[in-house]
Amino acid sequence: MYLEYIKSAIASIRSNKGRSFLTMLGIIIGISAVLTVLIIGDGMKETVNSEMDSIGATSITISLDNTKTDKKFSLEQLREIEENIDDIYGISPSINLGGSLINKQKTYDCMIQAGTEATVNSAGVKIVHGRYYSRNDVLEDKNVIVISQTAANKLFGYEEVVGNTLQIDAYGNAGELTVVGVTEDTSMDLALAMYADEPTLIASMPYTTAASLYGLSTDGIDGATIYLDNENRDEVLGEARSVVENIMGLRGENAVKISSSLGFDKTTDSILNIITSVVAIIAAISLLVGGIGVMNIMTVSVTERTREIGIRKSLGARTSSILTQFLAEAAILTFTGGVIGMLFGFLVSYIICQIVGFAFKINPLLVIIVVAISTAIGLFFGIYPAKRAAALDPIEALRTE
**What is the edge-to-edge ordering of all strands in the sheet holding 223-228?**
88-93, 223-228, 59-64, 256-260
pLDDT at residue 266, rounded to an integer: 62
pLDDT at residue 364, rounded to an integer: 81
Give 287-326 pLDDT, tens digit per residue: 677 777 777 777 776 666 666 666 766 666 676 777 777 7
Collapse the DSSP code of 94 into the 3-class scheme (helix H, G, I; strand E, B; otherwise coil) and give the result.
coil
Say if CB 351 and CB 379 are below 8 A apart.
no
Above pLDDT 90, what percent of the chain?
17
Say if CB 88 and CB 226 are below 8 A apart.
yes
Q: Closest Cα partner for 388 from 299, 317, 327? A: 299
pLDDT at residue 134, rounded to an integer: 94
Q: Closest Cα partner for 335 from 389, 294, 386, 298? A: 294
Q: Give the range among 123-132, 209-218, 360-369, 378-387 with minimum mean pLDDT.
A: 378-387
Q: Give the range among 32-36, 114-118, 231-235 with minimum mean pLDDT.
A: 231-235
Region 355-375: mean pLDDT is 78
Question: Between residues 154 and 44, which one has the greater pLDDT?
Answer: 154
Say if CB 43 and CB 358 are below 8 A apart.
yes
Rounded to whole angstroms, the maximal C-alpha distance in the chain is 107
Question: Between residues 185 and 49, which one has the greater pLDDT?
Answer: 185
pLDDT at residue 205, rounded to an integer: 93
Question: Between residues 259 and 375, which one has the greater pLDDT?
Answer: 259
Assess whether pLDDT exceeds 70 at residue 267. Answer: no
Under 8 Å CB-to-CB from 175, ≥6 apart: which residues?
A: 143, 167, 168, 209, 212, 213
Above pLDDT 70, what percent of the chain?
80
Report the mean per-residue pLDDT for the chain: 80
Assess whether pLDDT exceeds 60 at residue 398. Answer: no
Give 209-221 pLDDT, tens digit per residue: 998 888 888 888 8
pTM of the model: 0.58
